[in-house]
Amino acid sequence: MEEGVSCPSPAPKLTPPIRRTQDIHDERSKLVNEYACRVLELLGMGHRLFVPRLLATSKEDLLQADFEGALKFFRVQLPKRYRAEENARRLMEQACNVKVPTKKLKKYEREYQMMRENQLQQEDPLDRYKRENRRLQEASMRLEQENDDLAHELVTSKIALRNDLDQAEDKADVLNKELLLTKQKLVETEEEKRKQEEETAQLKEMFRKQLEKAESEIKKTSAIIAEYKQICSQLSSRLERQQVASKEELEVVKGKVMTCKHCSEIFSKEGTLKVPAVKERSGEDTDDEKDALKKQLREMELDLAQTKLQLVEAKCKIQELEHQRGALMSEIQTAKNSWFSKTLNSIKTATGTQPLQQPQLSSSPKEGST
């Protein structure tokens, strides 16, 4: 078998440049004419292309018909079938896809060349030159039209590019101005941030010193309060001991007085003094015993009064120290709140972020043991 090749398909349709409506219509008509000529050339090959395809597609119908039916089929049914665009297109595709041997193609080519030469020899040279001249004029007009269209498109493109360039330059100017403003704002923001950081450092240092001072004062106050509480406890214990000792001494004195016949009438059964009896028997009692008892009683009462006074003073001092400690803790708490508020406000002003929730402060230090 000789190597087969496909029959050349119709020339592809070129996309013309953008033109006016009339030019587009003329160009489309020319392309349609060229395509029609190509189709006619294919049809002119007759039995070489289409007859085998028609016979292949109509094989079943032809085998079922007799001689008269076959003639009627070729005369009536076959043309009617290929009037539809889809069937005609399919027939053209099948005809173009027919495999033709290379030798036959060369033979067809030689026959075609000989036929063209015969046509040219038989044709009048004047008509041929006129047709060639007309074809060249049409090509020249087409090229001039394409040149005009390309020139118009070039001018339009230049205008559009110039407009785009102007818009881009305007946009670049606006962006440069915004960039300069942004840089200036950035410098101002950095300067403000630096000042805020310095102020924050100063506030931290001041707060640290105040906190250390307050802690030292709290320690001193707590120590003083503990000492005063210890003193008060000691004074209370001493007062209780003195009261117990005084009562015991008083009971001893009462017992001794009650055992004395002359002094037993001074006290009643409840232990109270009998002043009238003392006055009546004042002459009888000895002055030394009365003076000693009165002096001892006055000393005990004075000692008791002094102890109570010291206890009251100690309690007052403790209350005053407690008040001072509460005021000092309140000042520390206020200083903490103020420092945190200033720090947060400065940070929010410098960075422009959303307001942050103020952190909860820790509870006050534990008070001294009561």
Which residue pairs from 213-218 have beta carbons closer than 8 angstroms and sit at least 24 positions apart in sequence? 214/328, 214/331, 214/332, 217/328, 218/325, 218/328, 218/329, 218/365
Instruction: Give the chain's mean pLDDT.
Output: 74
pTM above 0.85, yes or no: no
pLDDT at position 107, please? 85
Least confident of 174-178, 198-202, 257-261, 305-309: 257-261
**Average pLDDT rounded to a whole number, residues 161-190:** 95
The fraction of the chain above a pLDDT of 70, given in percent, is: 67
Task: Note the pLDDT tens digit of each residue in 82-91.
Answer: 777 787 777 7
- Residue closest to 339 by CA, chosen among 358, 355, 321, 357: 358
In the chain, what are the domain boundaries?
21-122, 159-351
Q: What angle do CA 306, 227, 212 make, to 5 degrees?
A: 140
CATH class of 21-122: mainly alpha
Residues sharing a CB contact under 8 Å with residue 3, sequence separation 6 or more, in sequence order: 101, 102
Structure tokens at 108: 């067809």
H or E stretch covering 31: helix 21-44
Q: Two tokens at 267?
A: 């006290």
User: For the segment 177-214, what is each residue's pLDDT rounded down to a tens digit?
Assistant: 999 999 999 999 999 999 999 988 898 898 888 888 88
CB 364 within 8 A of CB 333: yes
Q: pLDDT (tens digit, 9 = 90+) per residue, 37-59? A: 555 555 555 555 566 667 777 77
Tell me which of 48-57, 142-151, 159-168, 214-223 is least confident: 48-57
Could you tell me the pLDDT band of residue 19, with boundaries at 50, 70 and 90? very low
Token pair listed for 311: 């206890």
Runs of H (alpha helix) within 260-286: 275-280
How many residues in total does the chain contain? 370
Range among 101-115, 153-167, 271-285, 349-363 rated most confident: 153-167
Q: How many CB atoms lie within 10 A of CB 325?
A: 20
Alpha-carbon dihedral of residues 334, 336, 340, 343, nearest 10 degrees? 100
**What is the reported pLDDT for 370?**
37
Contact 92, 39 (CB under 8 A): yes
- CA-CA distance, 36 to 365, in Å (whole number)? 107
pLDDT given for residue 167 in this prediction: 95
Nearest to 303 by CA among 225, 263, 249: 249
